[in-house]
Amino acid sequence: MCPPDRIAVHAEDTAVAGHAPSPELVADLVAANHILFDQGVVDAFGHISVRHDKRPDRFLLARNMAPGNVTAADIVEFDLDGNPVNAGGRKVYLERFIHSEIFRVRPDVMSVVHSHSHNIVPLSVVKGVKLRAIFHMAGFIGQAAPVFEIREAAGNGTDLLISDNALGAALAAKFVDVDIALMRGHGSTVVANSVPLAVYRAVYAELNARYQLQASSLGEVEYLTPEEGLACTNRVEGQVQRPWDLWKAESAKRRAS
């Protein structure tokens, strides 16, 4: 297990915060943290970010903490080098560079989810087996989600964590034309053009992985074709507000009780 100072770090604020993000955006980011925990995508670890709605060169991410406990007061602003703007001495996630470097190279991405969801990890380590779209709710996965191999970027003997800009950039290079990448022995990262869609994709990627593992134990799997994957993505993801509203209401009710 990594020592605590390799999971969370103190980072000095390096810039002055400008216009505050909209309260609605912050509220959605808080809700997203809770939903991802409630849906079993993250546990005490993992994180979701959103691009600042008034400054595209900034993004919002919780301070270092368990996602299920995040509040609006825990949200920190960062620049695209991963430097905090208003952490105020609070510890931040070591792996914030996952988010900063993807936001840097993908201007269309508005939200990033990084998790270690339980059914994804086995598919990141078995040679010759790829995470593939197996049902219509996860057509965005496509024919073979790429796997980030950290040894290619940093050699043998790392702790597998994305702990600096260079490693973040190496991971971000996997997202040229895909919206999900697995990380060998680590987990996965998912991107989208909104917080609700990023949450949707993270939830259904985990479900797809579970179904793929189950189906593989029964026999040969019939995966979605490329054409089916595209059609399903266009059709189903147009309905993302439906699960988002449901999950958000369930999450709020659970925390109010």
Per-residue pLDDT reduced to its tens digit, 105-146? 999 999 999 999 999 999 999 999 999 999 999 999 999 999
Question: Considering 95, 101, 206, 237, which one is annotated as catalytic?
Answer: 95
**pLDDT tens-digit readout, 144-168:** 999 999 999 999 999 999 999 999 9
Q: Is a pLDDT exceeding 60 seen at residue 4?
A: no
- Tally of residues, the chain: 257
Q: pLDDT-derived band of residue 257, with 50, 70 and 90 as boundaries?
A: confident
pLDDT at 149: 98
- Is residue 228 annotated as part of the catalytic site, yes or no? no
* CA pair distance 115, 232, nearest whole angstrom: 24
pLDDT at 17: 73
For residue 61, the surrounding DSSP H or E stretch is: strand 58-62
Q: Is a pLDDT exceeding 50 seen at residue 1?
A: no
**pLDDT tens-digit readout, 166-211:** 999 999 999 999 999 999 999 999 999 999 999 999 999 999 999 9
| Residue from 224, 244, 220 nearest 233 by CA | 224
Q: Which residue has the tokens 């040229």?
A: 176
pLDDT at 2: 45
Alpha-carbon torsion angle 90, 99, 72, 4, nearest 10: -40
Superfamily for 4-252?
Class II aldolase/adducin N-terminal domain (3.40.225.10)
pLDDT at 7: 65
pTM for the model stands at: 0.94
Pull the structure tokens for residue 162: 């994305």
pLDDT at 87: 92
* CA pair distance 13, 155, nearest whole angstrom: 31
* CA pair distance 96, 78, nearest whole angstrom: 9
What is the end-to-end Cα distance of the chain in Å, rounded?
A: 35
**pLDDT tens-digit readout, 20-75:** 999 999 999 999 999 999 999 999 999 999 999 999 999 999 999 999 999 999 99
Q: Is a pLDDT exceeding 50 seen at residue 245?
A: yes
Q: pLDDT-derived band of residue 16, with 50, 70 and 90 as boundaries?
A: confident
Residues of the chain above pLDDT 70, percent: 96
Q: pLDDT-derived band of residue 9, with 50, 70 and 90 as boundaries?
A: confident
| Distant-in-sequence, close-in-space partners of 122: CB < 8 Å, separation ≥ 6 | 209, 213
DSSP track, 198-249? HHHHHHHHHHHHHHHHHHHTTS---PPPHHHHHHHHHHHGGGTHHHHHHHHH
